[in-house]
Amino acid sequence: MSTTVHTHISQSAKNRWFVGGFDKALLDESIVSLHFIAHPSDPNIPLPNPTNHWSSYLELATNKLVHLDVIPSGPDAGQGCICLSSREPSVTSDWSYKKTCLISNNVTLNGFLELIIKKNRDKYNFADGGEGCRFWLSVVLEDLVEAGIISREDGDETQVALPKYWSKPGTSTDRPMAVGTFWE
């Protein structure tokens, strides 16, 4: 296991990682696919411009899942926090949109997280109002394509889905992405 990634994500308060429900022994596991999920919005909270929260699930060769999510660190947006958690071996069926991308080469979870850290994708400020998960994912998607981890075709298909509101599977309307900022 790379001590660099392990140390970085273990210094949660300093580096804005929440790993409370994550088994760090999974860092050496190979990733076989990556699922990008648009979670349904709460129908009990009417919003003038509804949007989906997006996150990803990394499916490992050992049939385990790791949920990767970026969320605002407070109610008024601000700095993002990356949340990692180990999950049961089935992707949630509670989604409005899902894109599964096969991993193009042998990449471990450690290597995947190393890319995020190297590119400073864990240093992110959400846009006003707490939006920005879609923009964060769009940037990370491009990093994954450039690194040869996922195909250009899968990356492009997911990029087309991100600037939409998915009210239910197969039903979407355009919804511009709020743009957050990365810092060093």
Q: What is the domain partition of the chain in residue ranges?
A: 3-41+50-182
User: Can you list the alpha helix ranges (DSSP code H) found in the chain?
Assistant: 3-10, 12-15, 109-118, 133-146, 152-161
The pLDDT assigned to 66 comes to 96
Q: Is residue 162 within 8 Å of 138, Cβ to Cβ?
A: yes
124: nearest Cα among 78, 68, 172: 78
Contacts of 130 (CB under 8 A, 6+ apart): 72, 75, 76, 77
Distance CA 103, CA 46 (A): 37
Q: pLDDT 10s digit of each residue in the chain, 184 long?
A: 556 898 889 886 666 899 988 999 999 999 999 999 999 988 777 778 889 999 999 999 999 999 999 999 876 668 999 999 998 766 667 899 999 999 988 999 999 999 999 999 999 999 988 899 999 999 999 999 999 999 999 999 999 999 999 999 999 999 999 999 999 8
DSSP 4-17: HHHHHHH-HHHHTE
The pLDDT assigned to 160 comes to 98
The pLDDT assigned to 47 comes to 76
